[in-house]
Each structure stands twice: as C-alpha cells, then as structure tokens.
Structure 1
Amino acid sequence: MLSPLEIKIVKRLQEDIPIVEEPYKQIASEIGISEKELMNKIDEFFKKGILRRFGAIVRHTNVGFKSNVLVVWKVPEDKIEQVVKIMASFKEVSHCYKRKSCSKWQYNIYTMIHGENRASCENTICNIVKLSGVKEFEALYTLKELKKKSMKYFV
C-alpha cells in the first residue's frame, strides 16, 4: 500500500517532465519535498518493482520526421550483440530491441526508424544492411498514427 506522499509522487511522475534545467528539483518543489527525497523515492520504487521504467516520448512529427518504419530483422543469435550496436548507432533509429522469435515469425530484432520521407528511411535500412550484413528483414511502414496515451494510475 502506498502512502499519501508516495501516491502524490506517482501522480506527478505520470505527467510531463518539465523542460527546465533541473526538472527533478522542480517536481520535488511542486510535491513539497526536497530533490534528494524525490530521487530516493524513485530509487525505492525501482527496487520494489513499483516503477519499471522511466521514459520520454518524442513526438516525431513535431521534430520533422514524417515517415516511420518498423524493421524486423532475422539476426543469428551469435551476432545479436554486434549487430544491435551497429543498428542502435544510427541517429534515425529510436528503438532497437530483441524479441523472441517462433517458427512462423523468425524475426528477433526490431528497430524503429524515422525519416523525413520514405526514401530517407529506405536509405537508412540500406546502410544498416551494408554495415551489419543482415539481409533478412521486413519493413513495416506506419500507415496511420494512432493516439498514444500513457497509463494513469492515480488521477
């Protein structure tokens, strides 16, 4: 069971992070605690499994990316570590992660690539192929942007 202070912290953390020089200091001030107390609580939340990840969502269309493609790759297990380092090094790649494959879907590495247009995404794919040597992939282009919302536990 969370204390009233912990609920207050979770409620604030599920909102946007202020774009200021010291965002955690500002959040702590809004809650009425010190920055150190806030950081200790966040650390405690991670250790207890209350908080699993903390992330930011970049609204890609607001920064000039009009085309997106999820590329799924079939990478040999013994090459994954080497290949994902190459893939993740591209500035156009916002996500690069491993997923379990199966007999009907043998792709095990997923990358999300953003570009100004489809041609720029295809150019990035070609460059990844050249550098990684991985030639088995599928490019799944975004056809429609769905509304994204983060989970809200306390409102």
Structure 2
Amino acid sequence: MSSPLPDPTDLAILNALQDDLPLVSRPWNAIAEQLGITETEMIDRMNRLMGAGIIRGISPVLESRHLGLHAATLVALHVPEERREEIADIISSCPEVSHNFQRDHYYSLWFTIAAKDDAGIHAVLEEILTRAGIPPSDALDLPTVKKIKIDVRFSFVPSQTREIT
C-alpha cells in the first residue's frame, strides 16, 4: 500500500528540521506552531516520514574542534568479504569512530576517526588494524587537511510530491 507523500506540510517539516531546533522543553510544539499545525500532527507526520525512510534520524551536528578533537581522518580498508561484518563491528566499537560504512570497492570499509591530535588518530587506527588482523598496507589513511563544508541542507518545494510505495 502506498501513502501520499510529501505534501506541502511534510516538505515544510523537512525544511524546518534542517534548521537549529529550538532549545525549549517541547521543540516539536515550537516548530508545529511556526508551521500552523498541532504538536500531535507534527509528531505523527515525523513518524510517518521515518516509517517511509525519508527521515532516518534526528541528531546534533557537533563541532569537534570545540570539544578538543583537533585531528580527524577518513580511513579506507581493504577487507576480505567474509570478514566484513566482523571487522565493521571492531571499527564501530571504537568511540573515536563517528561513521563506518561499506562501499562496493576494493576498499570496502570506510570510516572516520576524530581525536585530540595526530598521535591519537594513529593509536586508534593501529588498534583497529591489530584487532582486525589487517596489515597497514591494506589501509588508506586520508587525514583532514582543511574542512571545506559541513552544513548541507536541502530545499524542499511543494511541486516535488509523489507516492511512497
């Protein structure tokens, strides 16, 4: 069964969720009031959008340097296909890792590490490689040199409506 999506109110919600959330006890109510709907309708629509896979989650975007994390890197690993899940679990168990994803590529696991300094980055990467039994030659370490962009937003306009299947 398909349900209509997105209507102009759904699109307005998607636009609003990309902005700074109000720091109040009931942020959904504050956004709902701005959009001219009730808090209950706002929550119901968000749940429907989540159920449809349009919204995957709502989370903060943290500025790591303000938290004392001055070094970051993107790592690509070549791993045997039969060990991919096991090694992904090892990577994801490290609190310094913020993203861990699979690619259809020779380097099939990619992840980011943030730490206080380069020595911290190298220690985490060495720990991951040791625990996974992966030689350093199967890792690409691509350190952040300069942050170019972090704030990506999509503008949703009412003319882009369609059905969810």
Letter in 2 for 1:35: E
Distance 1:73 1:55, change over 3 A: farther
2: distance between equivalents of 1:133 and 1:25?
A: 50
- For residue 97 of structure 1, the aligned residue among 82, 96, 101 is 101
Structure 1 stretches lacking a partner, 5+ long: none
Say if 2:115 is the partner of 1:132.
no
Q: Secondary structure at the match of 1:95?
A: strand
2: distance between equivalents of 1:4 and 1:63?
A: 38
What's 1:15 paired with?
19
Alpha-carbon distance, 1:112 to partner: 0.1
- For residue 147 of structure 1, the aligned residue among 113, 131, 149 is 149
What's 2:160 paired with?
none
What's 2:56 paired with?
53
List aligned pairs for 1:36-115, cutoff 5 A: 36-48=40-52, 51-56=54-59, 57-101=61-105, 106-115=106-115
Structure 2 stretches lacking a partner, 5+ long: 158-165
Q: Secondary structure at the match of 1:68?
A: strand
Deviations 1:51-78 (A, max 9, x none): 2533432211121110001011011111
1: distance between equivalents of 2:86 and 2:125?
A: 17
Distance 1:19 1:133, change over 3 A: farther
Could you state the TM-score of these two structures normalised by the residue count of structure 1? 0.82
Larger RCO (CA under 8 A, 6+ residues apart): 2
Alpha-carbon distance, 1:28 to partner: 3.0
Q: Secondary structure at the match of 1:90?
A: coil
1: distance between equivalents of 2:80 and 2:116?
A: 31
Could you state the TM-score of these two structures normalised by the residue count of structure 2? 0.78
Q: How many residues align?
A: 150
Identity of aligned residues (%): 27
